[in-house]
Structure 1
């Protein structure tokens, strides 16, 4: 929780080697605990609600309760969290590629493009456009997550 995600990703890639596949593995490994914490906390709170207790009382099986009652109540938060973590994963991949630990040339990634552009001071566009693409993609993913939160959050009242 308090350990920086990028440092853990760097350690994983140092152990596995610099490839796109290994960068994907590292980004996945560092993001899984957050998803697990979210799902666990949501399931623990939803399983105590009345409709789940009523389903248990009438004799539904645990798998049926999970699929019909608990998962639909939890899935909205998981979808919103996924859209917000996608922007973090994009920044992490770009940082790893910038450092030369992600996808190797000639595979085009925005981080590699930024890394290549550092040697060309006269060609400002080589760094501006990949940086702007990263910025706009992260902004769009965060707006998507915010919009999905508004859709899935039943506590927000529209007047």
Structure 2
């Protein structure tokens, strides 16, 4: 028996072997995404291979099957996929989100926006500008306002709130959706 999965023997693999769903674009629709446009609108999609749920990672492909990017899927939005990585081997795991948050904070530190923590405020995360499409975080002194404009990314709420609590002496965090 495996310690991490008591009901699974060591020779059995307890991983999800389901392939990552793929979103295939219509002909002549790929160019903006090769240029790193982060939003894939429903009208640009030819077909979806697999059965992704809201918030699932998907792979975006051109009509010729060329890899373009990784994104999060939302069947209930006109923006069907928000793209977050254009590296074929990079997956949208917790380390990616934490790294992007840390990069945003480091940038604000480098330009002096976090020097007077108790009395100043700033936009800590600015959605697409920080490669976190659908997330805005404002800081007002030691208070934070977190706003999600992407249902798919809002499913990472616990990770994002945990990052803020670990990184800052926050007095409070407000969620606005």
Instruction: Give the alignment's TM-score, normalised by structure 1.
Output: 0.24
Which one has more relative contact order, counting CA pairs under 8 Å at least 6 apart?
1
Q: Which has the larger radius of gyration?
A: 1
Structure 1 or 2: more strand by fraction: 2
Instruction: Give the alignment's TM-score, normalised by structure 2.
Output: 0.22
Structure 1 or 2: more helix by fraction: 1
